[in-house]
Amino acid sequence: MSKPSIIFDNYTLPSGVELKNRVLMAPMTNFLSNEDGSVSRKELDYYMRRSGGVGAVITACANVNAHGKGFEGEIGVDRDELTAGLSMLADGIHEKGAKAILQIYHGGRMCPPHLVPNEDIVSASAVPAERENAKTPREMTEEEIQQTILDFGEATRRAIEAGFDGVEIHGANTYLLQQFFSPHSNRRGDQWGGNVRERMNFPLAVIETVKSTVANRATEPFIIGYRLSPEEREEPGITIDDTLQFVDVLAGQGLDYLHISLSQFNQSSMRDKSAATPVIELIQERVGNSIPVMGVGSLITPEDIEKSLATVPLVSLGRELLVEPDWVEKVENNKDIRKAMKLTQKEDLLIPEPMWTNILSVPNWIPVDKEE
């Protein structure tokens, strides 16, 4: 196809940071950090392999404190000693021409017990996740809530000191910030729970401390994004109406973008099967004039991206950049892109163990070309 110009148009975020195009690398768990949470050489190589074409790289989630670690091989941003490795990562992404955004988060009740101190998993309330063998978390105390809010601020400070261009606050995919917003996981009767507006208090407090840290520490424009999942299947769970009320408030927080976590870019409500309008369109119509909205989800071809950018100004690619690290460069130069990966391409793709085995263990998640 001829060069699809809108993909390669630059875009200036509200903070003033300019992205060279409209395509970002989506945050994806990679299991590649060292056991202590420091950046490993193979992790650095993995990111640099995918940083050449995109406007920005959003890293895998980095835990802001020890109780928030949700994955083996997870990158950490919870201690000053990790800043040197984070700086290498930011520098490596910059070297290839992309902006670097560190995703910061706390796993809450989704953390495997063996990864947190004393196997003491915490959440908004003592309600287990609806999954097999889920452990009931301990309800966070007021002191722990206040400390976790501060920890998000400290994580932001470290990201600034490491040279990142921004942070993405991870409020999606069932992790702690979503647990506070969800009526399933938040049954609190204090200021951190209650009706839909009151359940916003914890994520809003995190946003406020991140903004304050940026105002006090950053010497150049610094990106603050927020990722959210618009619905939950649980009863009670987050509804589209809840989310529309939430994005109304988020749109007034001075953020750079809202990143809507969906498995399919154009999917409609998973709770209301009679609803036909794509969720991303509902959110864009609601707040798109006030804050940039970013979409994601099974966008494979340039044509897919073009259609998506007719709805929202920014998109992120995940699996597509695993299969085709040079997706943006090849599209820009009218070259064919890989839509499936061969098992013999492990070295070229720079997907090391244990990530390689982990992604292939999920049935049909990665398209694999088994013909050699």
Question: Do the Cβ atoms of 185 and 124 come closer than 8 Å?
Answer: yes
Show the tokens assigned to 360: 């292939």
Residue count of the chain: 372
Q: Which amino acid, residue 221?
A: P
Q: How far is CA 17 from CA 55, 166, 220, 254, 268, in A?
A: 11, 9, 9, 14, 32
Residue 102 CB neighbour total at 10 angstroms: 28
Question: Do the Cβ atoms of 305 and 327 come closer than 8 Å?
Answer: no
Say what angle helices 41-49 and 83-95 make with each other, to 10 degrees: 30
Asked if 175 is an active-site residue, the reply is yes
Strand partners, 225: 168, 257
Rounded Cα distance between 277 and 367, Å, is 28
Rounded Cα distance between 200 and 178, Å, is 9
Catalytic annotation, pick one of 46, 175, 226, 257: 175
Assign residue 115 a region (left: φ > 0; alpha: ψ between -120 and 50; beta: otherwise).
alpha
CA-nearest of 109, 45, 99, 37 to 74 is 37
Interstrand relation of 99-105 and 223-228 (parallel, antiparallel or unpaired): unpaired
Element (H, E) at 92: helix 83-95
Buried b (16+ CB within 10 A) or exposed e, 30-47: bbbbbeebbbbebbbebb
Residue 91 CB neighbour total at 10 angstroms: 14
Show the tokens assigned to 116: 């947190």
Question: Do the Cβ atoms of 29 and 322 come closer than 8 Å?
Answer: no
Determine the 3-state secondary structure of 153 from DSSP: helix
Residues carrying an active site annotation: 175
